[in-house]
Each structure stands twice: as C-alpha cells, then as structure tokens.
Amino acid sequence: MDLPLLTSYLCLAGFAGLSLAAAVTDIQRRRIPNGITLVIALLFGIYFLVNFGEAEWIGPLVVGSVLLVLGFILFAMNLLGAGDVKMLAAAGLWSGFTYAPELLLVTGLTGGIMGFAYILGDRLRRIPWMPLSLPDPEPEDQDASKKKQVYLPYGVAICAGALVVALQKARDLSVGAF
C-alpha cells in the first residue's frame, strides 16, 4: 500500500470517527463542538491534496456551501441547530456531487425515524399500564398556545449519512487500488 492510499484511508477513518464523536456529543449535550466539524473539514483538505489528480474540487465546495446556506436558513427558522448545520456542511464537502443524494437521503430517513421513535415513545409513556421506566410527562401547560419544543439530536442522523459517504468513498478507493 502506497503512502497516498494509506493517507486517504486514514482521512476517511478520521471522518467516520469524528462523525461518531459528533453524534455522541449531540446525544449527551445537544451540542456539536466546532472543533469536530473543523477537523472534519481539514481532513477533507488533506484527502483532497493527496488525491489532487483524481478528486474534483468544485463539487465538494458547491455541496458544502449550499448545505451551509440552506442549513442556516433552517437554523434561522429554529428547525436545526447551528452545530448540525456546520456538521452537515462538513459532511457535504466529503460527499460532493457524487454522494450528496446518499448523504441527504440517509440523513433525512434517519432523522424521520428518530422523530417517529420520539413520538411513539411519548405516546407509549402516556399509557398508564405500559411498564416503561421513562419519566412521567410534564403536566400540561395552562396556556394551550404554548407548545413544548423538542430538540432531537440530529447529529445522529447526519452521522448516519456521513458514515454511508465514508463507506462509499472507502469502497471507491479499494476498487481503484487493485
């Protein structure tokens, strides 16, 4: 195995590992540290430099930029957290045009499943005979117009999409190596 190929695999492993770390911190603290997304973007820069002749640069920059702009619109609408937006944009760098559909599809499906699971868990928790060890729901607010807002750790969904992209890119590297 030559040095550029090894470096490419190490960058992909770092991308996957940091994506998992982002998901874990999002679950624990509902926050994705900026350092994680910055290192993911820097690892893409190294990956790009190592594969300069093969890797396209327009696709990753366009996808990452578009996801950043659209993400901040969702952030302004209070639909997505700022850390989620930055993480999605960093994953978009890795996906480029080639794997952007997979990134967005897996992220969206995983986020939908998480949302459904939350709703289902909330409904099951309200059944008095259901033997779940979940905390009791908070009493309803007197003002019916105020809705309790729920923040799902969407970094988990973004991580799922990022892992699919990392696996696809690793497969492409292994096919090209032989």
Amino acid 123: pLDDT: 77
How far is the C-alpha of 6 from the C-alpha of 51, rounded, in Å? 11
How far is the C-alpha of 15 from the C-alpha of 39, rounded, in Å? 8
Specify if 145 maps to a domain.
Answer: no
Specify if 146 maps to a domain.
Answer: no
How far is the C-alpha of 26 from the C-alpha of 82, rounded, in Å? 12
**pLDDT (average), residues 87-94:** 96
Give the range of the structural domain holding residue 115, as residue numbers without chain letter: 3-139+151-177
Number of independent structural domains in the chain = 1
Higher per-residue confidence, 176 vs 32: 32
Amino acid 51: pLDDT: 82
Specify if 144 maps to a domain.
Answer: no
Amino acid 133: pLDDT: 53
Specify if 63 maps to a domain.
Answer: yes
Amino acid 140: pLDDT: 56
Lowest mean pLDDT among 46-50, 60-64, 172-176: 172-176
How far is the C-alpha of 129 from the C-alpha of 119, rounded, in Å? 18
Specify if 113 maps to a domain.
Answer: yes
2-59 residue pLDDT tens: 888 899 999 999 999 999 999 999 999 999 999 999 999 999 999 998 887 666 788 8
Specify if 16 maps to a domain.
Answer: yes
Amino acid 178: pLDDT: 43
105-152 residue pLDDT tens: 999 999 999 999 988 887 777 766 655 555 555 555 555 445 566 678
